[in-house]
Amino acid sequence: MSTPEIQIKDVNMIYKVNDGEDIVALNNVNLDIKEGEFISLLGPSGCGKTTLLRIIADLLQPTSGSVTLRGQTPRAMRLQKKYGIVFQNPVLYDWRSVRRNVCMPMEIMKIPKKERTARIDQTLDLVGLKDFGSKYPFELSGGMQQRVGIARALALDPEFLLMDEPFSALDEFTREKLNEDLLEIWRKTRKTVIFVTHNIAESVFLSDRVVVLSPHPGRVSAVVDIDLPRPRESSLRETSEFYEYVAKIRKSFEGV
């Protein structure tokens, strides 16, 4: 068997809080992720999804256990700019146009201007905002702002796309459209995606595998292979196979 792209081994995370009480956010999490896979971390509020994503991204150190990505540490990956991260709120700079928002990480990395321009064109095209480069964030809908966030995350052509509930603040229609568009972006770029969500249908629609986390303490309670054909289109949501996966995963939460 080939070595997994990402190996999460015996990861525990305990937050020490001021009153001395420990919060066990992750309890012995083990997970292997394959190259190019689309994985969702699914669970109710407080089950440790964000904590696990932040450990993978080197934004947090686990209390014990390890994460390796292609045999390297999260720190090494972060320093090599291998992560593209998309948060729930895209945090755009109001005074910068869409193009200049997408450009930010490339400016920081001192990428030559010609290359920056080409990358901005390419990523804006990818997220469907080709004609909106000169607009400012306040002129965009929430969904369009999140598209800018995705374009910016892809600007340095990272290996791993880490997404923390990127669509949860959007209305249902916009969310579903962005789900479809995200799959198209993934098909074209073949990044390894780790997608945090608390929406069961969203995780089924998007993923190759859904990792179900349960809270107190956060642990992996199930890993479900989503064996639905690709490319996936909106009509998939109406099929009995889709409902069966949603029902199966919902059942795994019973008693949580």
Ligand X SMILES: Nc1ncnc2c1ncn2[C@@H]1O[C@H](COP(=O)(O)OP(=O)(O)OP(=O)(O)O)[C@@H](O)[C@H]1O
Binding site for ligand X (CB under 6 A): 15, 17, 23, 25, 43, 45-51, 198, 218
C-beta of 193 vs 212, nearer to ligand X = 212
C-beta of 13 vs 106, nearer to ligand X = 13
Strand ranges for the chain from DSSP E: 6-16, 22-33, 38-42, 64-69, 83-86, 160-164, 192-197, 209-214, 219-225
User: Using alpha carbons only, what angle is made at residue 161 by residues 157 and 164, rounded to the nearest 5 degrees?
Assistant: 140
Nearest approach in angstroms of CB 206 to ligand X is 17
Nearest approach in angstroms of CB 51 to ligand X is 3
C-beta of 25 vs 148, nearer to ligand X = 25
Nearest approach in angstroms of CB 174 to ligand X is 20
Residues 6+ apart with CB under 8 A from 189: 126, 154, 161
C-beta of 43 vs 84, nearer to ligand X = 43
Nearest approach in angstroms of CB 255 to ligand X is 18
d(CA 205, CA 226): 9
